[in-house]
């Protein structure tokens, strides 16, 4: 479960692509994390344009109106479209093992397995600097 807050009329969840959240992921929203196993969710929402550490949640059309006074919690109920995590690492001899591990990781062709993609600095979501 991930904390959700209302910021400027938007529902923002404190989790993102680094946590495996992709566009279209569906979340059940609860006012209290302790009631997940005993109560129905107060609303459902979908992830929209997740960033590395946060995600905008959009209420589903058939979901009841929901307002967060302090904090709510989002529970993943259906994964969205998986994407690669785009990272940039400066080429450096000291980082050779990291490049090898990332290369091995990106060779996995399994839709259930998150992968990394090494990209140019401008296209990266994360960058390692020396």
Give 13-70 pLDDT, tens digit per residue: 998 887 878 888 899 898 887 877 788 888 899 999 888 889 999 988 887 777 777 7
How far is it, in rounded angstroms, from Cα 88 to Cα 109? 21
Give yes or no: residues 46 and 97 share one domain. Answer: no
Please give the tally of structural domains in the chain.
Answer: 2
User: How far is Cα 46 from Cα 50, in angstroms, rounded to an integer?
Assistant: 10
Same domain? For 92 and 39 the reply is no
Whether 18 contacts 54, CB under 8 Å? no
Structural domain that includes position 10: 2-78
- Which residue reads 């401008």 in tokens? 122
Mean pLDDT estimate for the chain:
76
CA-nearest of 29, 48, 51 to 40 is 29
Which position has the token pair 């989002």?
74
Is the per-residue pLDDT at 97 higher than 80? no
Vertex 82 angle, CA 101 and 52, to 5°: 70
């Amino acid at each position: 479960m991930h904390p959700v807050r209302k910021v400027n009329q938007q529902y923002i969840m404190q989790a993102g692509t680094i946590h495996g959240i992709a566009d279209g992921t569906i979340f059940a929203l609860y006012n209290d994390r302790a009631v997940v196993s005993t109560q129905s969710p107060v609303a459902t929402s979908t992830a929209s344009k997740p960033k590395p550490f946060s995600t905008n949640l959009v209420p589903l059309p058939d979901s009841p109106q929901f307002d967060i006074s302090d904090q709510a919690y989002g529970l993943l109920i259906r994964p969205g479209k998986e994407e690669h995590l785009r990272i940039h690492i400066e080429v450096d001899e000291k980082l050779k093992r990291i490049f090898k591990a990332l290369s091995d990781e990106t060779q996995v062709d399994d839709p259930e397995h998150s992968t990394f993609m090494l990209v140019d600095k401008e296209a990266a979501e994360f960058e390692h600097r020396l």
